[in-house]
Structures are given as C-alpha cells and as structure tokens.
Structure 1
Amino acid sequence: METEVRAALSRRQALVFMGSLAAVPLAAQAAPQGTEMQLLGAWQQADGSYRVGVLAAQAGGPSPLRARHVLEVPTRAHGLAQLPDGSMLATARRPGDWLVRWHPGQPAAKAQWHWVDATRSFNGHVLASADGRHLYTTETDADTGASLVAKRDARSLETEDEWATHGIDAHELIWAPAARGEKPTLIVANGGVPTAPETGRVKRNLHTMDSSLVRLNGESGELQGQWHLPDPRLSLRHLAWNAERTVLGIALQAEHDEAADKAAAPILALFDGQALRLCPAGQSMAGYGGSIASTAEGWAVSCPRSQGVATFTPEGQWRGLVGLEEVCALAVGSGRLWAAGVSHSLENARSPTPLAHAHAKELAGARMDNHWIKFG
C-alpha cells in the first residue's frame, strides 16, 4: 500500500517519514511500441499527496501518459534537473526546506535528502553543472531577505559556497552559452516580490518590487551585469533559450494593484545579451506566465489562468492561444512541444492539430506543477 503524506507535515514528522520512504510501487506496464517520450515531472495526486518522477507516453500515439517511476515527497515540488549519471533532482516550492536526489528505475538506490535550516529557504529551482559535480540552488537568507545562489556538492548536497544574486525572490537560473575556453556564466531571474519568513508566500509592500535579470561568473559568483524591465510590477520568473541559444525567453508574472493593469500585462520578455524587451500578447493572459519553452516555430508560455498555451514567433510576435485546461508544464522533445493539462496532455502543442494524450488511471485527477524536463 502506498504511504500517504499531506502538505501539513511538520519538519519532525517529515524527517520520520523520510526515514522509511521508498519509491511508490506501480503496476508493471508494457512499454508502448515506437518512440517513447520520457519526462521528469512533479505533480499533486487527487488525494492531496505529492509526487516526482518519470512520466512517459508514446510519441505519435495516441497513448496514455503514464507514471513510470515515482517518488513521494513531503510537500509540493517545483524545479527539476537531471545529472549525467541518470539521477534526478527536485526541490521544494518556495519557501522550501528540502532537496532530493533520486535514481528513477533503480530500486536499490535510496533517495538522498537534504534539509536546510531556519536561516535559509529554497526558492524552487536547482541546476547542475555540465560535469554533474556541482549543483546550484536559488535560496533566500531568512534574516535579511536577500537572495543567493548556493553552490553545492552533488554527492553530499552540502553547500560549498554562496553568491549574492543582487536582488530578492531569486527564482530560476540557467547556464549561458560559452565559447571554448570561456568561464561558465549563470543567468538568474530575481523575481523581486517582497515576502517575509513568518508569512511564507504572502506578498507584501509590492510598491517596493525590484525584479531583475543578473549574469554571474559561474566560478566566482562575480556580478557581470544586471537588467531591469521598465515596469517594476512585472516579475521575471522562468527561463528558456531559443534553439540557437542566442536569445533568452523569460516568463513574466504581473503584480499590479489594478485588475485592468494586470490583465493587460505581457507574459513574455526576450533578452539578447544586451537588453530586455517586452513582447505584448494579442489578448489578456491574466498577467500570469507559468513555464516557458522554445521550438523552431517560436516561444510558448503556459498560462493556467487563461487555460491555454500562449504562442509567439521567434521574434516575439503574438501567434495565438492553444487551449488546454489548467495547462502548466512545458517541455520540448524531438522538436515538438509537450504541454501538461489536468486531464490530458498535448504533443506537438503548437500545431493546428495537436495530439492529445489522456492521463492514465494512476494520474487521474493529478495536477502537474510548472515544469517538465525531458528525461534520458
């Protein structure tokens, strides 16, 4: 029988829970014929418990989206990453206190957990170095409210160094392309939304918002550049490169006081290495961009409050909205955009005729979190 856990677990209860946690067993399923798309994902089950793991569907199906390998986690997960050895990483949604490394499909390999103390909180995202030796997590100092990047040992998950992000509410981070011989460079989105440790995710003093995009030396953390949008009530959140890795797309979330301003706010900005540029949508997106992805056809931003995927050309011109109920996670596999909904997911979601994959029984009523990562 599956172990159940609720989001209201105390830290002590969660630690006891982790001592006996095992991968959730699933009924054996025959692998679909043909090419299979495998995705790392995070989701909430219909019973309120939380999962991370590998999801799979046969490309070109239709075939159901199934859960191949699953790990139960104590609270809602958010950011995901994969290491060269095939292990996956997941971290808690902000303000979070856990990070886990797990080998899907290897029953003998126990999940490795790391908990931060009360002086830090995870901000929901984790990134691996190219060689898999180090991890980078966005975090917040509970005493000062300042955000930082923690450089961690991938084996122990312990912090080796910390770098300021020169802002607050740091969210996703991504590697910038580097020429041979150049130092690695990190780009971090400072969401800029003020919160407090005692009130968790409650937003406060929004008139003081200070969102920015920063570039840091990937070895020393030295600040190499910082950019702001003209509208201080737009929060820079999630990041994706175009196929050529020459333009960075940023999904935006609006925090305006007036409903009309929020409704009219853009949900996409583009960064060419020199400046940020806003890309207006052709209709109201309720001021909320979730995940972001790029294909040869252009940009896609999931908009769960608008029940669809907003699509743009590679240059940022509006294309239209692809409807999908409670759409959240996006991923690109074999050049095709995959989008997660609540009852089914779409393959080739930018197409005029996307292919729907119904969710299998074990995912009935599940709600996917913001991110998918192509696995393998």
Structure 2
Amino acid sequence: MTVLSTPIPRRALLRGLGASAMGALGLAELSFAKDAGSMAGVTRLAAVWRDGPSAMAQDWAGVLEVLPQASGGHAWRIAARTPLPTRGHGVQTLPDGQLVFAARRPGDWLLRWQPQTDALQWAWMQEDRCFNGHVSLAAPTTAQAQAGAGRSGILFTTETDLEDSQGCIGLRDAVSLEKRAEWRSHGMDPHELLVLPAALGPLPAGTLVVANGGIPTQSETGRSKKWLDAMDPSLVALHPADGRLLGQWKLPDPRLSIRHLAWDATRQRLGIALQAEHDDERRHSAPIFAVWDGQRLQLAQDQPPLAGYGGSVECAPLAQGGFVVSCPKSDCMAWFDAQARYLGSSPQGDVCPVARDGARLWAGGGHAVAERTSRSSDQAVTALDTVTGLMFDNHWRLVG
C-alpha cells in the first residue's frame, strides 16, 4: 500500500472519495417505471442510509417504496439509490420530482438528483463555510426578489461561517445550486429551516423559520462540541424577500438545542424537536419537544425522562392533531398534543426517520420500518429480498 505524505485538503479528498464511490458502485440503481406515479397505494420516501454500522460503510441517498401486499399489510424496498461521498442528512423535494440532499454537518456537498433519469448536480462548499444538514425550497416571494432567479426557484441552505462561527442562510439557484445571496441566521449552528405556507399573525406567507441550534463550532473541531457554556439557541423568523429579522424566540434553558421542525397548517403550530447538551444529570430528564404559535415557545409538559434527545419531529396522524418525536436514544416515539402536553410513547428500537402520509406514519429504526396510525397501533413493514442490512439516517420526506 502506498502512503501519501502530502496533506490533501479535506474537501478535495471528499470529492475524490465521491468520484471513487460512483465509479466503483455504478450509477443509481433504478426500479422506477415510467408510469410509477400511477401505482395505487404506493408510498415513496426520500431517504439517506448507510450499508451498515461500520465507519467505513458506504453512504447512500435514495428512494424507498412501501407497497401494499395482496395478503394484507405492506412491504418495502429500495426503488432507486445513488452513492454519497459522506453521510447525508436532510432532503427537499422539488416540484419536478427531483430531490436535493444536504450533507451531514459539518458538510461539504449538496446534491440535486432526478431518480428516474439519474441526472446528478453537485455543489461543493467553499473553504470558509460548511453546510449544516438541511435544505428547503423558498417561497415564490423569495425567488421574485432575487434578480435573475428565473423559473428555477431558490433553495435555502443552513450554513456556518467558519471564521466567526455565526450562522448563515444560503440562497441558491434550485437548478445550478449556485449561491446567489446569503443572509445571517442571527445565531450559531442553524440546523433545520421551514417556510411558512401562509401568514401567521404579522409574519407574511413565505417567512423563513430557522432553528438555530446555538452550539459554537470551529472548523478544526468538526462535530466535536466545544464551549457549551456559550450556547445560545433560538428560533428566528426572517422576511422572505430580504432576510431581515422579524422575530426571535429563546427557551429558558440555553442548553436545549433547537434542532428540527414540523408545521401543522391546520392548527398553525410549529413542533420543535430539542436535543439537550447538559453535562450532568439534567440531560437525562430534559424536555425533547416544544411548540411555537408565532408568539411564544412552550416547552413539553409532563414528559418523562427520554435521554434529552429528539431525533426527528412530524405531525401526528390523529384527528386532534399533535406531533410525534422520534427518540433513538430511548428506543421509542413520543407523542404530544398541539399544546405540547405529553400523551405517551410507542416503543421502536433506534427509531429516527419519520414521515406522515395522510392517516399513516412511517417510521424507520435501524433496518426496520413500522407503520402507525395511532400511538397504540404498530405494524411491521416487511423488507423485500432486494433490501440488505442497512442503517437509516435521520430523516425521510414523502416523494409525490
């Protein structure tokens, strides 16, 4: 084996690894039919995963299909996949069926992919920034305000300025992924972001809501968390046209990192998954959930200890609304009503990605998939022969 003694810049190395993976493993493995959208009862989920628990396992982006079975119940398979150079995290669907995946923080790449044709478009981050794992499609108001954006639309990406650790929002062309502008997130460590589909009080439709995780970072520390005493998490609302700050909300405990978001349009509530960063016993019993109504943040009420870690959050498939938070460190899913009152939990090992499809909730834990219609319902989804042992990463999103 030849050992290279000349240091290779990290981003250049990742580019090489990505090219090697795609060369060795081939292009996306597609099983989409041309008329795939007409298959009745099929749910498609954009996902990221690893081939196994090993640090050397291959990372993938892809589409899972959940198929109704003649004998009852459902089975799932990998419908399409394409290799990634490092772990992926969040995903955004585009109106034309393409998917945009963001690298896990501190990330170096953004990928736009068309599963049916295997068209790929990569963007690599400049040296003084990193991607923070999430991407969202901006409202038309934002695209119209960006000169030259045309009909392609604008994508928001959460980023960190590695010079000062401050959060940034990248505004990128949805086709070329080229950055057209940048806004400050008014906090550190911005993570998930969400575009309000309608006005909420004084906040106009298209307002960008950003979860500032609040954890200080430096380029040389990677994912290592430093200076937690300086944590300053917040939820912010930014104007869709120019990014000016419309509001900022903070929790009473600065060690509760604000991470993931889900919007209940019917009840106009934002569900928020939290991750505690205490270095003592407070972490074990810390709240993992909060709600926001456009005016204030309300922490979870009557919640039992859940290791202080909420993985993903989704609207609950219940008539009365509410939210579900996956708890991979507690091997369960926690259910809350729209006022953040704890309702109970559903056991599922290593559960993290969740996605709602009407009256159903699909949840992934490790290699397994489960279907739920309520807190007490639980039906395992059979893995078809095309699926080998894999480890789901944090998030799923429905594909139309």
Query: How far apart, CA to CA, are the structure 2 residues paired with 1:298 and 1:28?
Result: 34
Query: How far apart, CA to CA, are the structure 2 residues paired with 1:183 and 1:249?
Result: 18
Question: What are the superposed Cα offsets for residues 95-114 of structure 1, whole Å, 9 maximum, x if unpaired?
Answer: 0000000111224xx21101
Query: Which AA in structure 1 matches 2:181?
Result: D
Query: Which AA in structure 2 matches 1:17?
Result: S
Query: Which AA in structure 1 matches 2:259?
Result: R
Check whether the contact 1:212–1:226 (CA below 8 A) recurs between aligned residues: yes
Please name the residue that 1:167 is paired with: 187
Query: How far apart, CA to CA, are the structure 2 residues paired with 1:225 and 1:183?
Result: 14
Q: 1:8 to 1:224 in 2, by over 3 A?
A: closer
1:317 matches 2:328:
no
Q: Return 5+ residue gaps in structure 2 as ranges.
A: 1-9, 141-151
1:92-103 alignment runs, 5 A limit: 92-103=103-114
Question: What are the superposed Cα offsets for residues 112-140 of structure 1, whole Å, 9 maximum, x if unpaired?
Answer: 10101211100000001245511110000
Q: Of 27, 30, 39, which aligns to 1:23?
A: 27
Compute the TM-score of the two structures, normalised by the length of structure 2.
Answer: 0.86
Compute the TM-score of the two structures, normalised by the length of structure 1.
Answer: 0.91
Question: What are the superposed Cα offsets for residues 57-84 of structure 1, whole Å, 9 maximum, x if unpaired?
Answer: 1258423221001111111000100111
Shift of the alpha carbon at 1:12?
A: 4.6
1:324-363 alignment runs, 5 A limit: 324-348=348-372, 350-363=374-387
Q: Of 287, 292, 299, which aligns to 2:308?
A: 287
Please name the residue that 1:75 is paired with: 86
Query: Which AA in structure 2 matches 1:262?
Result: R
Q: 1:185 to 1:71 in 2, by over 3 A?
A: same
Check whether the contact 1:349–1:355 (CA below 8 A) recurs between aligned residues: no
Shift of the alpha carbon at 1:267?
A: 0.4
Please name the residue that 2:238 is paired with: 216
Query: How far apart, CA to CA, are the structure 2 residues paired with 1:33 and 1:101?
Result: 25
1:1-376 alignment runs, 5 A limit: 10-14=13-17, 16-17=19-20, 20=23, 22-25=26-29, 34-46=40-52, 48-59=57-68, 61-107=72-118, 110-130=119-139, 133-179=153-199, 182=204, 184-244=206-266, 246-258=268-280, 260-280=281-301, 282-295=303-316, 296=318, 297-348=321-372, 350-376=374-400
Which is worse superposed, 305-314 or 60-69?
60-69
Q: Name segments (4+ residues, structure 1) moved above 4 Å.
A: 18-22, 26-29, 31-34, 179-183
Which is worse superposed, 176-185 or 151-160?
176-185
Query: Which AA in structure 2 matches 1:133?
Result: G
Shift of the alpha carbon at 1:24?
A: 3.1
Q: 1:155 to 1:58 in 2, by over 3 A?
A: same
Please name the residue that 2:149 is paired with: none
Question: What are the superposed Cα offsets for residues 290-333 of structure 1, whole Å, 9 maximum, x if unpaired?
Answer: 10001334210000000011111222221111111110101010
Check whether the contact 1:33–1:58 (CA below 8 A) recurs between aligned residues: no
Shift of the alpha carbon at 1:18?
A: 7.3
Please name the residue that 2:144 is paired with: none
Check whether the contact 1:328–1:339 (CA below 8 A) recurs between aligned residues: yes
Please name the residue that 1:4 is paired with: none
Shift of the alpha carbon at 1:197?
A: 0.5
Q: 1:74 to 1:362 in 2, by over 3 A?
A: farther
Percentage of pairs with the same residue: 42
Check whether the contact 1:9–1:74 (CA below 8 A) recurs between aligned residues: no
Q: 1:362 to 1:301 in 2, by over 3 A?
A: same
Query: How far apart, CA to CA, are the structure 2 residues paired with 1:284 and 1:15?
Result: 40
- Matched positions, count: 367
Q: 1:102 to 1:119 in 2, by over 3 A?
A: same
Query: How far apart, CA to CA, are the structure 1 residues paired with 2:288 and 2:216?
Result: 20
Shift of the alpha carbon at 1:334?
A: 1.6
Query: How far apart, CA to CA, are the structure 2 residues paired with 1:370 and 1:12?
Result: 23
SS at match of 1:218: coil
Q: 1:19 to 1:290 in 2, by over 3 A?
A: closer
Query: How far apart, CA to CA, are the structure 1 residues paired with 2:304 and 2:80?
Result: 39
Query: How far apart, CA to CA, are the structure 2 residues paired with 1:73 and 1:15?
Result: 6
Which is worse superposed, 16-25 or 160-169?
16-25
Query: How far apart, CA to CA, are the structure 2 residues paired with 1:163 and 1:122?
Result: 14
- Give me the CA root mean square deviation: 2.6
Q: 1:245 to 1:45 in 2, by over 3 A?
A: farther
SS at match of 1:13: helix
Query: How far apart, CA to CA, are the structure 1 residues paired with 2:39 and 2:73?
Result: 11
Please name the residue that 2:7 is paired with: none
Query: How far apart, CA to CA, are the structure 1 residues paired with 2:105 and 2:155?
Result: 17
Query: How far apart, CA to CA, are the structure 2 residues paired with 1:200 and 1:273?
Result: 33
